[in-house]
Amino acid sequence: MSLSKIETLLQDKVSQLRQQGISKGREKVITGILPAVDGFGPRYLLEGFGSRHFLRMNANAYLGLGLDPRVIRAEAEAVETYGAGPGAVRFISGTYRPHVELEKQLAEFHGREAAMLFSAAYATMLGVLPLLIAEDTLVVSDALNHNCIINAIRLAQPVRKEVFAHGDLAALDAILAAYRGLVKRVCVVVDGVFSMRGDHAELGKISAICRQHEDTYEQGIITLVDDSHGVGAFGKTGRGTEEVTGGKADILIGTLGKAFGVNGGYVASSAAVIAYLRESAPLYIYSNPITPGEAAAASAALRVVDSPEGAQLLETLRGLSLHLRNGLQRLGFETLPGEHPIVPLLIRDTDKTAALVDHLFAHNILATGLNYPVVPKGEQEIRLQVSANHTAKDLDYLLDKLACFP
C-alpha cells in the first residue's frame, strides 16, 4: 500500500489553487497578545516575525470578549471543576451543568422555547438542515449564502432546489408561487448577515412572503436563518438580524465563536424541533460537545452582551464601524453602507487585492483578501472586521496606510 499515486494528484490540486490565486497558503501563527496601550487596542505577535506587533483587522471577535477577564475566569473555574474535556458524547455521559445552563440562556436570549449546542456553527447547519428536508421538500436559498448552507443542501440531496439572486425577494415570491401543488414542504434558508459583505437579509419581508404562501403547502414553509455574524454584533441589544429587521425565523442558528468570543454553535427553536434534533442529528449524537469550560465561558459572555454594558459595547462597535466606513469613502475607496462591523473594501481585481493585503501586512496590519470563487468575479475585496477592542486611533492608523497605497 502506498500514497505515492494519490499524493501526486493532491499536489497538482494544490498547485492549481496557487495558480488561481485562491490558495490559503501557510497559516500565520499567533504567539502572543500585547495589551492595549497609548490609545491603541491590542496587538498580536506572529511566529517568524520577531517583535513586530500587528493590528488584527480580520477577526470575528466583534466585542472582544475572548480577552475579557470574566470570560477567561469563568472558563478556568469550570476547567478546575469539570476537567479539560467532556470525555463522552452528550447522550452517554458528556452532558455537564454548564451545557444545560447555556442552552437555557440562549433560548431565553432569543425568545425561543429551547436551544441545543453543537461543536461549531458549521456543524450545526450540517446537522440541522438535512433533517428538515424530506422527499417532497423544496429548498430555497439566497445566492450568497455561506458555504455551510451550500454543503448542507448538498448533503441533504433535495429533489427540488431553487437559488434566488442575492436579496431578490420578488424572485423568492415567484418561486413560492410556482411550486404550489408540486411539493408538500418548503424550507427557505438564508444567512442573517452575509459574511463577505456585511449586509443582511430582510427577515421581516421574507417572513411576510412566506406567510402569504404557507397555506398552499400541505406541510407549510419553514424559515431557517444562520445569523452567526449577526448575533452579539448587530442590533441595539445584540440579538442580530431578527432585532434589526423585526422578522423571526422558525429556526435560528448561531455561533459562540464570533461575538461571544469562545467556541461552538447552537440552534434555537420550538421545544418540539429541538427534541427531534436531539434524537436525530448525527453531528450532535455522535460528536463530543464543546467543553464544560467553553460552555461556562460562553455563559459569562452572554451575560455581558445581555446587559447595559453589552448595549454600550454594541454602541461603541457601531460608532467604530461608521468611523471606518466614512474614512474609506473619504479616501475614495468603495464600500457598502450599513452598521455591521464587517466593512468590505471592494477592490474588484484579484491582483490588486493581493497587492493591498501585502501592503497592509508590510505596515503590521492583518487583513484578508477574498477572491473568486470565494466571492463572485468582479467583487474581489478585503474584508475588514471591526471589534469593540479597536480604537479610533487603530482605525486612523489603518486609513493612513490605505491612503499611501500606490
Catalytic residue positions, numbered: 195, 229, 258
Output the nine-digit C-alpha cell for 54.
500587528
Tell me if 187 sits within 8 A of 129, measured CB to CB: yes
Output the nine-digit C-alpha cell for 365.
496590519
Q: 124 φ, ψ to 5°?
A: -65, -50
Q: Residue for cell digits 449546542?
A: 117
**Residue 27: partners with Cβ closer than 8 Å, 6 or more residues away:** none
Strands (E), 35-184: 43-46, 53-56, 114-118, 137-142, 160-164
Closest CA to 90 of 314, 367, 288, 269: 288
Beta-carbon count within 10 A of 118 CB: 26
Strands (E), 165-220: 185-191
User: Which residues are bridge partners to 193 per DSSP?
Assistant: 200
C-alpha gyration radius of the chain: 22
Q: How far apart are CA 240 and CA 231, in angstroms?
A: 4
Q: How far apart are CA 270 and CA 157, in angstroms?
A: 25
